Amino acid sequence: MNKKNIFRQLFIIISIMIILYGCSEKNPVSNDENESISPGIPVPMLMYPLDKDTSFSDIVTLTWETADSTLQSHLQIDTTEIFENPVFSKIIHVSDYGLPDSLLPDSGWMNHYKLEDTLEDDVYFWRVRCLDSTGTYGFWSEIQCFALLKTGISGTITFLGDWPGSTKEIRLIISKYFYGNISDPDSQVSSVIEGFLNGEIIFGEQADLFCDTYDYHIELEPDLYEWISVFWFPDEPNYILLMKEIGRYSTTQGEENLPAAIDLRNGGYLTGININADFNHINNENLLL
């Protein structure tokens, strides 16, 4: 990981921490006007994410406790504590999250709602209130906040040479291990397929065909990735077995073109992972070195 990416990641994390710990200790909990409100309806207790939590995932499961399993919940999420125009607002029925996982000792019920690919990287505030079958609301819960910082990489693939007319697809391949030091192309292809089946290799997004450059973005699990590569697939029935590596992310100069590892074990999003993909490697009987 180069110094520029390290400083950028530290800057993002520190900025988020400053915003998170700037959350007020006493949050506004007032209800909207012109709504039927009853103080007799229990106020939910927010459980997860923990207040001021930072998550390196775009899939967040919000969890809160209610005193009665028959009550519906009104969930709101926003980028400010005011909730003037919430980025997410939904009445969640019991059927939306199924039966509660467990009955707590104090007769409370755990409720869950999973947000998938809904929120961008940012700091978010959330709150919940209950409502009964008549549409009468209780008071809002306290407001808590959490931050999202996705883990992944982005960059530009630059294509060199003439595009083969027999191209079926170009695909980014990310591997936890480097399979480029194998003696021949057939063995490399077999190892890539085996690595994919073992969960060590990720077949990433397809690039647009017959273009000069392609900007890619891919989200990854926190881990160490030793090989970021571009593979060409021919328009043939057995195209998987005929794929060829035409480029890889490397920080070395010259003929060696050694792969550069991407360390995401502590999360973070790295940019500038650029790759030159040369179509001249397709007809080369040797491996990309």
The answer to whether the bond into 100 is cis (omega within 30° of 0) is: no
Higher confidence at residue 257 or residue 203? Answer: 203
Cα 101 to Cα 123: distance, rounded to the nearest angstrom: 28
pLDDT in tens, 235-271: 999 999 999 999 999 987 555 678 899 999 887 788 8
pLDDT in tens, 29-88: 555 667 888 888 999 999 988 887 776 566 688 889 888 777 789 999 999 999 988 999
- Quick count: other Cβ atoms within 10 Å of Cβ 53? 14
Share of the chain above pLDDT 90, in %: 38
Strand pairing category for 122-131 and 262-263: unpaired
Cα 247 to Cα 59: distance, rounded to the nearest angstrom: 31
Query: Does the structure show a pLDDT above 60 at 211?
Result: yes
Q: What is the fold, at CATH topology level, of the domain defined by 3-148? A: Immunoglobulin-like (2.60.40)
pLDDT in tens, 221-234: 889 999 999 999 99
Nearest to 43 by CA among 109, 113, 130, 133: 130
Q: Which helix (H) or strand (E) holds 194?
A: helix 185-197
Nearest to 201 by CA among 219, 231, 227: 227
Higher confidence at residue 186 or residue 231? Answer: 231
Higher confidence at residue 185 or residue 263? Answer: 263
**Structural domain spans, the chain:** 3-148, 152-281
- Quick count: other Cβ atoms within 10 Å of Cβ 32? 10
Strands (E), the chain: 45-48, 53-55, 59-66, 72-78, 88-92, 109-116, 122-131, 144-148, 152-160, 167-175, 201-206, 213-219, 224-225, 227-234, 244-248, 262-263, 269-270, 275-278
Task: Give the angle 118-120-125 at the CA atoms, nearest 5°.
Answer: 85
pTM score: 0.56
